[in-house]
Amino acid sequence: MSLEPLALTFALLVFWIGLGWSVIAVAEPEMQPLKALFLAPVTGVAATMLPAFWLNILGLPVGSFARPLMVVFCCIIVTAWIWRRPAWGRRELIFIVPVIGALLIIGFPTFRFGLDWVGNANDDWANYNLSAIRYLKSGFYQEPSIEALKAGADYPGFLWFLDAAEDSRPGCDILLAWVSGLVGRNPFFLFMPLILTFHSALCLAAGGLAMASVRQRSALFAALALTAIAPLSLYAIHQQLIAQVIGIAFMCATAVLTFVPFHEFRSRGRVALTSVIAAAYWLIYPETVPFFVLAFLLYHLAHLWTKDWGWSASWIILIPPAFACLALGPYSISFFFFLLKQFQNSGMQGVFDGISIFPYFLVPTGLAVLFGFSRLGELMSEPWLSLSIGAALLLSIFVAAGIVLGLRRKSAVASYLVVVGLAAVILVKQHNDFGVFKVAMFSQVFLWFSVVAVLTRVRSRVGIVAYLLVFSAVVFTDLKYTQSSLHDTFGGGSLIPGASRSHLLTRVLINEPGGTCDVNYDTANPPLIKVLGATRGCSKSFIARPPLFGDLAGAALTRVDRNPLHQKLGIVKFTDRAASELSPKTLSLSFPYPPLNGVPVVTTRSVVEYPRTVSDAADESIFNEVKTTSDDPQSRTSRLVFVNSSLGSHYYLPDYGITAVFETEPDAFFSGGKIAAVARYLLFRIESPAKVSRLVLDLTASILADGKSNLPPAVVIGEKAISVGLLGHGAARVVSPPFSPLVVDGVAYVLLDLGAQPKFLDVPRTGFMKLYGTNVPIDYRRMVAFVRQVRIIDANASDSPAIPSRLDMFPSGLGNRNLEFSGIYEDGWLGDDGFIVLSSDRPGKVLFRGLFPKGLGLDSVDLALTIEGGATIRKHLEPGPFELELPVSSSGPARIGFRFSAIGRLPAGDGRPAVALLSSVSIEPGGVNSSEQPVLPNLPKVIRGVGLEADGVFLDGWLARRGFVVINAARSGKVVLRGMVPGSIGLDDQEIKVSNGAGEMVHKELKAGPFEIEVPVKAGYSRLSIDFNQAANLPNGDGRNVAALLQSLTVTPTPE
């Protein structure tokens, strides 16, 4: 357990409260104690921000003054506290308790991962850290070395083009650099403790804003508790939106000081304090300033006829902005250009290839997310889905009532909620989904005060019960977010799955292994690229994403001359020179492939590349298999490097509009496996290419839920186009025929065309999900299939894989990476066409066993079984078990093809096209006329030979919630059940009870993954009852309600 991160969080919070109170004590010594406590953290951050900013503007690296500045601050705090201590008693300090509780919930992963916790590893997180590294070692306007940038030896230096040339807000970056210089650790390690501190400041500032309108301290405390643990705010922290978190805190704090009668501004202290906080606010998060201005106007207009409001002194309110401009110096100009850029670009943020990746609040689940009853992107099963939406609709009514009540009371919270609500309506009409997403997060600091204000007007017991129900639901959602971060795996929201568990930051930034300089990296993951590139002086080229850094100078060049200050500071001239030298090379690849209609495929190359290409263990992509970091060129194997092209890009920050490969996620069929949705075209460059290669393609269409599950007609294109050889429906793992890559400028390229147009998944809408937004895709991905792996092998390699001789377990048998097959579903069902490659060290026969069941819409069917280059056998099948034998005349690999004359459809909501359930296929010794008796599959294959009777066990081994198996043991011993609880379908906390009919029962809690249960049995007949505590529907069209997958059932006698 690590205590260091939260200890740092609390230390920073205490420090900024102390510094902030010192400033407040001087500026407004008569401020109400609770109000001073609420404002203190933000004031302390502002007091730190402004001198650090100015020292950096003057050319001093933050690392050179971080600790001396801290000494000055400590002297100020000590002096102020000697002069006058704050009048904080128990009645005030009690409001810190919910904040501390929230920090423990939100920051719980730090106990496990320490400073290596990376949250969701968002790309903005990486940019903040790289920018902070630059400020640590450089002045604000200090130009980086173009030679170092070109060599890939100073990736933090590229952030100069965002900060200096594009007028980005530098506030959080400088604060992070200051904490880094103070503690002496890389900013990457300190980011999460710092954002937790900022969340504390946000909660307290929100309390300060609401205290004027929520006059009961108990109600204020209750609302503050909900604000502190609001799940959408927790998501913002895990998503590392650090500027948003502290920026909204400043928006609230500025309102606390200005949403007051104008006569209060006759105080010089109020003007000075407002000026300091406003200046820091503009540095940190200026995009919310329009919200503040509109809410400010609405609030004061509501008091137009209020007596003694001091309208004659209203002109004084213009003084703090003027002083703030003076305090910002040259950035006061950049501030306005930054706002202009935000207005111009906001409409297209989060839109790629015409599809929004932020549709969350345009469908009914968005309401459940808004009020913390569901996680972002979560689609619960019924009835919980409709219940969460219904509860959110009810709270929406409460919020509307709270707004009306607040407007009558002329409260600041109501003013903000009106502005936020109007902004949301406008953004929805403009189809600005990203804007709606951001506004939903902004609203979290106001919503809960409005809800509690209404609850306080309800009968006390009813109001308390309602509050506790909401609080419990919110905490439950928080725990799900936290649990996801603790698991740190695919599908949990992290863009670098496993980074916290594997201590990526420590490995890369402190214990960086040898051989990682002067190399190319093959990852296409932007946040991982930026972590790997954080070390200055260690040259690296990221050949999968050249524009990620290389285009920054070119993008800045299009806007840099709009700010007149840039010309005087030489920023325009430097940006122009850098853009000409750093911009990636554009390549046009002409593949001989008719579907492209002669149009070249456009991609890019880095300006500098190194002889050796390596991978990082944190890159959990579906491409390649074994990571290679060998220095010996002779030991290197061929590797694919996915590159963005005009035909398709990586899903995260695509260089081109069309997305070709989406985020890696857990494989529902294979525990610990991974898959990724892909579109039609994938372009690769090949590192260490062989003269002649083969492509290994492992993919599935089983879960497309389109009623077809067709395997696409994939083609691999190099010097010529060659069919990969996919057949049938379901899943496949195929090895292409040999091909030679296309070589351009000394680099080998290959294009994979899956041969089908991508489409949306058809996600069914139930219950309240049908209320509105039915035309909005729930899953925004357009895909052809889910790919498990793509890799390349040498066609002339002498070593051959150990191909199995039988397949009789599903899905585990299909997980054998050396098994080549096509047209088989993971649970053993067969489409109408396919093949499987098995191998034997001697001639023999193929035994092909299965079940042709009723209920598929077929009365009978013909099956043709073939051996490539050998015999063929045909058989007419009636419903029931079947077995075919086919001679194998030689040893070695044998391609066994199957083809049915017709195809049916699986019943009970499954809907997949299928013909028969495969029990086993194997190459056995002996001739076709052997006297060996076949084992007929009259029971599910996993219990055949052991069980005599069963119920609740599907033919492919899936178990219902309740079932039984009858066995006849020769002598006493134990029954061993082995199976798997699938992940990602809602069975993460499964429980099983197995009783043997003799009063003995085994009870075990199961997590997602494999399990093994041992149950004692006596000689003779025993009825094993198998009960689970829950079941879920199999995903994507299967629909069966299952609890686990049984993979084997055996009886082990007690030794005599």
Q: What local confidence, expressed as pLDDT, does residue 345 receive?
A: 65
* φ/ψ (deg, to 5) at 420: -65, -40
554 in Cβ contact with 547 (< 8 Å)? no
Neighbour tally for 745: CB within 10 Å: 9
Q: What local confidence, expressed as pLDDT, does residue 344 receive?
A: 64
Nearest to 695 by CA among 761, 763, 768, 623: 623
Q: What local confidence, expressed as pLDDT, does residue 629 receive?
A: 44
Cα gap 366→938, rounded to integer Å: 49
Concatenated DSSP letters for 1043-1054? SEEEEEEEEEEP
Q: Which helix (H) or strand (E) holds 476?
A: helix 460-487
The full length of the chain comes to 1056
Q: First CA to last CA across the chain, in angstroms?
A: 48
Residue with tokens 């970091």: 629
Q: What local confidence, expressed as pLDDT, does residue 349 receive?
A: 63
Nearest to 418 by CA among 433, 434, 405: 405
Nearest to 167 by CA among 325, 342, 293, 291: 342
Q: What local confidence, expressed as pLDDT, does residue 930 receive?
A: 40
Helix (H, G, I), strand (E, B) or coil at 435: helix
Query: Domains in the chain, start-ordered, CATH in brackets?
Result: 4-487 (no CATH), 547-581 (no CATH), 584-794 (no CATH), 831-924 (2.60.120.260), 947-1053 (2.60.120.260)
Nearest to 438 by CA among 452, 429, 451, 428: 428
Q: Does the CA dihedral 418-420-423-428 come out positive or negative?
A: negative
Q: Which helix (H) or strand (E) holds 237?
A: helix 231-238
Q: Which residues lie across from 589 on neighbouring strands?
A: 601
pLDDT digits (tens, 9 = 90+) for 366-402: 999 999 999 998 889 889 999 999 999 999 999 999 9
Q: Which long-range contacts (CB under 8 A, 24 or more apart) does 8-11 make?
A: 8/183, 8/190, 8/193, 9/103, 9/107, 9/193, 9/194, 9/196, 9/197, 9/200, 10/100, 10/103
pTM assigned to the model? 0.85
Q: What local confidence, expressed as pLDDT, does residue 1012 receive?
A: 92
Give the helix ranges, DSSP H, for 239-361: 242-258, 268-284, 289-302, 319-328, 331-345
904 in Cβ contact with 915 (< 8 Å)? yes
Residues of the chain with pLDDT under 50: 628-635, 930-937
